[in-house]
Amino acid sequence: MKSLALRLLPALLALAATALAQPVVDAPAAGLVQRAIAAGRNDPEDARRLAEDALGLLAARPDADLEVRALLVLCDYWSERKLEVARELLGRASALLSLARRGGLRAGVYSCEGDLFESAGDNAKAMDAYGRAVSSAEAAGDDEMLANALYQRGWLRGLQGDYALGLIDLRRSVTLYEKAMMAEHARTAVNGVATIYNRMGDYAQAQHFYAQALKAQLAAGTQREAVVTLYNLGRTRENLNDWDGARGDYLNALEISRRIDYARGAAYALRGLAGVHNARGEWGEALERLAEAKKLTADLPDARLQAQLALLRGVALRGLKRPAESLTSLNAALAAFRAAEALAEQAATHAALADTLADLGDWRAAFEQQRLLKAATDRLHARQLDQRFTTLKVEFDTAAREKENALLMREKAATEDALAQQKRVGALQVIAIALAAVLVAVLGLLAWRQRQTSHRMRALALTDELTGLPNRRAVLARLDELLQSEHACAVLIVDLDHFKVINDRHGHLVGDDVLRAVAGVLTETVRDPMYVGRMGGEEFLLLLPDATVEAARQVAERVRAAIVGLDASRWPSDCALTASIGVTIARPRLDRVSDALRRADQALYSAKAAGRNRVHENALTVAA
């Protein structure tokens, strides 16, 4: 479970942390706002009352910054209860932005907008809003608001199965929070990383992070956050088949939620308990828990929670030999998960539907659900095997463990220092020798790690992050090597036609997806010893060692046709792709890199001028 409060609280607390640095018109109102933000991590009702009191004071002595912050606290509160009230508050906050002194507040408004979309089950619009929050925070130079927006976008990317991109956002968020000495916020972002680990199947590591966070939250008295962590810890224990442990976590989350009157937290805890009952074949008890949760969520705007309840209800009804009712509930859950692009939940629903349809004797439909289950599972596994994710995960694990080890080493050093004062001079010499040996070992280890890191950084420096192809630096270095050899080399510049129009009309998310698809086509079309890389933007470079002009033209035509033949059904209807290609032959030991690129570029411009979607050779090269 990831509550809307948890997603907004990092931004709100970040604002509180810098309150002293901002000019304040009304000191009592500023104090109320700061108390409201802090209360949001523990008692939602207290946070609401304090924010409303602050707005009452600000009505007499207006201050746009304080009003926006108070409205964001209330937006957080009502986003879990009534979306129409939250939208009205968001509109008021947006109207005040032109008067606000802190530019980063716009990012906070976009983040709240994304939360409302996500709560309503429209993850596509939520992702767009989070992207605008990131861009706005970066433009304002507001690291605290940027950290929050990155956390929200990273969480949603992880939910949709984009584990690598989600982990990149979350790692940036952790770094920014730690830089700002905001330990609680950093812990929240680390919990987001733990959730991605849980979805990737690294349950032990996820459990480790959750357990650490829970201990700190309980010690700090942040009960609302503890509810969220307890629920996530319970889900992890379910994956480890630790049903007793999961039940204990859910019961603790339920008890705290009821104590602080947190209906949404209680509903999620009941959902978890119903899952444990289903796993144990206690179908009736599961339905009782789900009925309790349904009462609590009747007015809550949480489409994903409603879908999860429907999935568990369908499983329990099948267990009670009521397959027709089970089918209705499971189909409702599947529709919601598809709308939210939640791939893991879709896979679980397909599995349950296959079993229910088999009980009804509809073998054809059951087989189709099994096919859809396999397709969803294959997609999840493919993402889990993504090498970029694996590399980032290992680096994150290493950094986290190094911090733990550094703390242990500091504690050990302090203990040794206290003991050393009681020992004789001879013992101190022995210790000094031992420490010197340890230092040598550590230095050796650090040197080895430095070499390993250098190798990894060099690989990253030569790879285009978006497409996974060699980047401009790498491909130009390869061309320079070929020009130093004894053989001619064909140089092809591939440029997508009207690509700027796609970005302008449909946004960079669609544009980035188009570039990745084209990169895939080039990878499939080009074979050794050919070499392909991305020059930048929508321009790619192909190198064909020992190729004639005619052979290069044939390759260029194959590439052009493959791009035209790309399946554009996943993009808007006006995103059909074509490409123009310029071809030249680079002469070894005569041409420089700039010479070859200039001629290929001239051929490309010739192709563009002739109407695009065609291949042109450099006229001088053909004559030669």
Residues annotated as catalytic (active site), given as ranges: 538
- Report residue 88: phi and psi, to 5°: -65, -40
Give me 400's structure tokens: 């986290």
Alpha helices in 421-470 (DSSP H): 425-461
Buried b (16+ CB within 10 A) or exposed e, 65-91: bbbbbbbbbbbbbbbbbebeebbebbe
Number of helical (H) and strand (E) elements in the chain, helices listed first: 27, 5
Q: What is the DSSP letter of 22?
A: S
Q: Do residues 115 and 149 make contact, with C-beta atoms less than 8 angstroms apart?
A: no
Structure tokens at 258: 């009821």
In the chain, what is the greatest distance between 2 CA atoms, to the nearest angstrom? 90
Give me the amino acid identity at 129: A
DSSP secondary structure code for residue 470 in this structure: B
Using an 8 Å Cβ cutoff, are 16 and 37 in contact? yes
What is d(CA 305, CA 462) in angstroms, rounded to the nearest whole number?
Answer: 43
The helix (run of H) or strand (run of E) holding residue 519 is helix 508-525
Picking from 154, 188, 158, the residue whose alpha carbon sits closest to that of residue 172 is 154
CA distance linking residue 162 with residue 386, whole number of Å: 10
Give the separation between CA 190 and CA 213, rounded to whole angstroms.
9
Sequence-distant (6+) residues with CB within 8 A of 33 are: 16, 19, 50, 51, 54, 66, 69, 70, 73
At 415, the amino acid letter reads: T
Cβ partners under 8 Å of residue 405, min gap 6: none
492 in Cβ contact with 556 (< 8 Å) = yes
Contacts with 572 (C-beta within 8 Å, 6 or more apart), sequence order: 505, 506, 510
d(CA 69, CA 573): 41
Do residues 228 and 7 touch, judged by C-beta distance below 8 A?
A: no
Across-strand partners of 616?
A: 582
CB 555 within 8 A of CB 531: no
